[in-house]
Amino acid sequence: MFPRQYSDHDVAAFFSLLNHKRKSEQEALRRLDHYLSTRFNVFDLIRPNEVLLSTVLAELLDPSGRHGQGSRFLHAFMLRIEREDLARLQPRRVAVEAPTRYLAHSTRRFDVLLEYDSFGFVIENKPWAADQERQVSDYLYELRAVYGDAHCLVYLTPHGSAPPATSIPPMDLSRNQELGNLVLMSFRDDIRGWLEACIAHCASDKFRWFLRDLLAYIELTFPGTPDLEDTLAAR
């Protein structure tokens, strides 16, 4: 069979219908926005940097945070990284940009620190910046000096990448991962999944909308699929 031939009239009618549907959808969205503001996202206005993202993470993880949800978000985070032992505990201090004490001539700071009675938990937030020389090695040294073996460093990147060899030697990286002292985490999958759990467990309508805005920001800022990225990286 021969393919159907379309006349200029058919083409014009198709685009006229398409334009009509587009205008109808825009009008429906305009009316919906009057009540729901569907296009508004607070993170489009504040444009977070690394420190602000760390502050948001710390606020969510703090059982005493202004979200009023107690340890629900912290519990979901620890379950996400399979630290059920910490999911049952309450940190006595949550801090952002916490200074180190045992690194000579260093101005390094922990992005997010959760300090328990006998355990140190740190998130090294790497949404965009590259590692400095020996950065992860220095953080693990500091944690070991303060907490002994009772510590964990979460290395958070857009796609769960491992720190480079200039930040920590590969053998040290593997050993600390095996010991549970170093955990790799991604914004794309882990933080997104965690936020979905937070939304499901949040009892506050007001804060649930904040979490939804944050989730939408994370999805837009750190998109992609593992298969596609692995393929591109292999080229």
pTM: 0.82
Locate the domains of the chain by residue range: 49-189
Whose tokens are 């910046």? That residue is: 129
Residue 132 CA to residue 147 CA, distance in Å, equals 23
Residue 53 CA to residue 97 CA, distance in Å, equals 12
Along the 235 residues of the chain, how does pLDDT read in single tens digits? 556 676 777 667 776 777 767 777 767 667 766 776 777 788 888 888 999 999 999 999 999 999 999 999 999 999 999 999 999 899 999 999 999 999 987 889 999 999 999 999 999 999 999 999 999 999 999 999 999 999 999 999 999 999 999 999 999 999 999 999 999 999 999 999 999 999 999 999 999 999 999 999 999 999 975 444 443 333 3
Cβ density class 85-101: b for 16+ within 10 Å, e for less: ebbebebeebbbebebe
Residue 159 CA to residue 137 CA, distance in Å, equals 21
- 207-216: long-range contacts (C-beta < 8 A, 24 or more apart)? 207/67, 207/68, 207/69, 210/42, 213/41, 213/42, 213/43, 214/43, 214/56, 216/41, 216/43
